[in-house]
Amino acid sequence: MTPSAPDALRNIALVGHQGSGKTALAEAMLHASGMIGRPGSVPDGTTTSDHHQAEQDRSMSIFASLLHADWNGTKVNILDTPGYPDFSSEVIASMTVADTALYVMDARSGVEVGTETAWTYGEQMETPSLFVVNHLDQSSAHFRSLVDEIEDRFGAGATVVQMPAGEGSRTVIDVLRMQQLYFPEGETEPEVQPIDDAFQDEAQERHQTLVEDIAAQDEALMETYFEQGQLTEDQMRDGLHDAMLERELFPIFVTSATEGVGVWRLLHFIDRVCPSPTDRPVETERGDRLAPDPDDDPVAFVYRTMEQEHVGEYSFVRVYNGTLESGQDLENATTGATERIGQMYVLNGEDRNTVPRLTAGDLGALVKLDDTNTNDTLRAPDSDVVLPPIQFPAPRYRMAVEATQSGKEDKLARGLHQITAEDPSLSFEHDALLNQLILSGQGEMHLQIAQSRLKRRAGVEVEFVKPRISYRETIQHRARASYRHKKQSGGAGEFADIALLVEPLEGDFVAPDDVEVRGEETIETDWDATVHFVDAIKGGVIDMNKFFSSIQKGVLNVMEEGPVAEFPVGDVRVVIYDGGMHPVDSNEAAFKRAAYECFRQAFDEADPALLEPIHTVRVTTPDEYTGDVISDLNARRGRIQGIDAQGPLQRIRAEVPEAELHQYAMALRSLTQGRGLHQTRFSHYEQMPRNVQEDVVNEAVADAA
Interacting residues toward ligand GTP by CB under 6 A: 18-24, 41-43, 60-61, 82-84, 104, 134-135, 137-138, 256-258
Nearer to Mg ion, 22 or 368 (CB): 22
CB 465, min distance to ligand GTP, A: 29
Geometric angle at alpha carbon 428, from 425 and 432, rounded to 5°: 155
Find which of Mg ion, ligand GTP, none residue 256 binds, CB within 5 to 8 Å per kind: ligand GTP
Q: Which residues pair with 573 in a beta bridge?
A: 503, 532
Nearer to ligand GTP, 256 or 284 (CB): 256
Find which of ligand GTP, Mg ion, none residue 441 binds, CB within 5 to 8 Å per kind: none
Interacting span for Mg ion (CB under 5 A) from 53-61, 181-189, 317-325, 336-344:
53-61
- Residue 402 burial (CB < 10 Å; 0-12/13-18/19+)? middle
Nearer to Mg ion, 131 or 596 (CB): 131
Cβ-closest residue to ligand GTP?
83
Interacting span for Mg ion (CB under 5 A) from 59-67, 98-106, 266-274, 684-692:
59-67
What 3-state class would DSSP assign to 116?
helix
The Cα 574–Cα 588 span in angstroms is 18
Nearer to ligand GTP, 33 or 276 (CB): 33
CB 187, min distance to ligand GTP, A: 16
Find which of Mg ion, ligand GTP, none residue 679 binds, CB within 5 to 8 Å per kind: none
Nearer to ligand GTP, 49 or 321 (CB): 49
Nearer to Mg ion, 349 or 657 (CB): 349
CB 18, min distance to Mg ion, A: 8
19-48: contacts with Mg ion (CB under 5 A): 22-23
87-106: contacts with Mg ion (CB under 5 A): none
61 lies in the site for Mg ion, by CB under 5 A:
yes
Give yes or no for a contact between 12 and 102, defined as CB atoms under 8 angstroms apart. Answer: yes
Nearer to ligand GTP, 83 or 164 (CB): 83
The distance of Cα 307 from the centroid of its chain, to the nearest Å, equals 19
Answer positive or negative: Cα dihedral of 433, 436, 437, 443: negative
- Residue 275 burial (CB < 10 Å; 0-12/13-18/19+)? buried
- What's the per-residue H, E or C state across 144-204? HHHHHHHHHHHCCCEEECEEECCCCCCEEEECCCCEEEECCCCCCCCEEECCCHHHHHHHH
Interacting span for Mg ion (CB under 5 A) from 54-62, 142-150, 167-175, 659-667:
54-62
CB 260, min distance to ligand GTP, A: 9
CB 27, min distance to Mg ion, A: 10
Nearer to Mg ion, 18 or 326 (CB): 18
CB 135, min distance to ligand GTP, A: 4
Nearer to ligand GTP, 83 or 638 (CB): 83
CB 106, min distance to ligand GTP, A: 8
Give yes or no for a contact between 39 and 28, defined as CB atoms under 8 angstroms apart. Answer: yes
Nearer to ligand GTP, 159 or 255 (CB): 255
Find which of Mg ion, ligand GTP, none residue 258 binds, CB within 5 to 8 Å per kind: ligand GTP
Q: Which segments of 461-581 are extended strands (E)? A: 462-465, 472-474, 479-487, 494-504, 519-524, 530-535, 572-580
The closest of 613, 669, 609, 635 to 468, measured between CA atoms, is: 613
Find which of Mg ion, ligand GTP, none residue 284 binds, CB within 5 to 8 Å per kind: none
Find which of ligand GTP, Mg ion, none residue 257 binds, CB within 5 to 8 Å per kind: ligand GTP
The Cα 674–Cα 516 span in angstroms is 61
Q: Which residues contact 54 (CB under 8 A, 6 or more apart)?
A: 62, 449, 452
Find which of ligand GTP, Mg ion, none residue 292 binds, CB within 5 to 8 Å per kind: none
CB 54, min distance to Mg ion, A: 12
CB 49, min distance to ligand GTP, A: 8
Q: Which residues contact 100 (CB under 8 A, 6 or more apart)?
A: 10, 11, 12, 13, 127, 128, 129, 130, 244, 270, 274, 275
Find which of Mg ion, ligand GTP, none residue 557 binds, CB within 5 to 8 Å per kind: none
CB 415, min distance to ligand GTP, A: 26
Give yes or no for a contact between 223 and 104, defined as CB atoms under 8 angstroms apart. Answer: no
Nearer to ligand GTP, 21 or 277 (CB): 21
Find which of Mg ion, ligand GTP, none residue 462 binds, CB within 5 to 8 Å per kind: none
The closest of 129, 118, 123 to 83, measured between CA atoms, is: 118
Q: How many CA atoms are closer than 13 Å to the CA of 329, on its beta-carbon side?
A: 5
CB 22, min distance to Mg ion, A: 5
Find which of ligand GTP, Mg ion, none residue 18 binds, CB within 5 to 8 Å per kind: ligand GTP
The Cα 386–Cα 205 span in angstroms is 48
Give yes or no for a contact between 347 and 313, defined as CB atoms under 8 angstroms apart. Answer: no
Give yes or no for a contact between 206 and 143, defined as CB atoms under 8 angstroms apart. Answer: no
Nearer to Mg ion, 58 or 532 (CB): 58
Q: How far is CA 477 from CA 64, 608, 610, 614, 652, in A?
A: 57, 9, 14, 22, 35
What 3-state class would DSSP assign to 636?
coil
Q: What is the size of the binding site for Mg ion (CB under 5 A)?
A: 3
Nearer to ligand GTP, 262 or 676 (CB): 262
Interstrand relation of 9-15 and 74-80 (parallel, antiparallel or unpaired): parallel
**Strands of the sheet with 530-535, listed across from one edge:** 479-487, 494-504, 572-580, 530-535, 519-524
Give the CA diameter of the chain: 117
Find which of ligand GTP, Mg ion, none residue 24 binds, CB within 5 to 8 Å per kind: ligand GTP
CB 259, min distance to ligand GTP, A: 6
The Cα 135–Cα 581 span in angstroms is 87
Binding site for Mg ion (CB under 5 A): 22-23, 61
